[in-house]
Amino acid sequence: MKKLNTLLEIVVEQHKSFFAQAETQHQSLSPMFIAIKADGSAEQYLVDIENEQQKQMLCDQLSEHFKSTNVQYYAFFTEAWAAIYQDRQMNVQPSKREDRTEIVLTIVADNEGNKLGSTLEMVRDWNTNRVVELKEYEMNATAFSGRFAELLD
């Protein structure tokens, strides 16, 4: 777990550095995977995902590739929408809700089934659309799961 904690800390600090240094008005963090193999080498995969079918196909391909190339642990990060759900709102995706929050989601996982995650709220200056702060966002989640967290399971 120590390696996962270290990887998570490094990736989160990189997010903060990226937004602090970005000069563009419409800052955006492209979804990316970073995979660490048994020999210590790393691979990066910048991805463009547009729909559910592409998400599933990507996950299937990466899972097979990670397992066949002896990936020991990996990180996945992306921008996303988050929302706190009440029972009556479970059928509405966060991206379609008025009370949504823009976040950077980071998930790290290893080949022993351990998973950690981080969610950072993207605070924008809406006059310039620049991200001016990344702050901790509490999702009330006890575990990170889902297709992007289970590529080595």
48 pLDDT more than 70 = yes
Give residue 19's pLDDT. 73
CA angle 141, 147, 149 (to 5 degrees): 55
Q: Residue 11: which of 29, 23, 27 has the closest Cα?
A: 29
Question: How far is residue 98 from each of residues 68, 134, 145, measured CA to CA in Å?
Answer: 42, 20, 25
**What is the mean predicted confidence (pLDDT) over 73-81?**
90
Provide the 3-class DSSP secondary structure of residue 47. coil
User: Which pTM was predicted?
Assistant: 0.81
> What gap in Å lies between CA 35 and CA 79, rounded to an integer?
19
Contact 115, 145 (CB under 8 A): yes
**What is the mean predicted confidence (pLDDT) over 38-54?**
90
Q: What is the pLDDT of residues 78-134, one digit of tens each?
A: 888 888 776 666 677 788 888 888 888 899 999 999 998 888 898 888 887 788 888
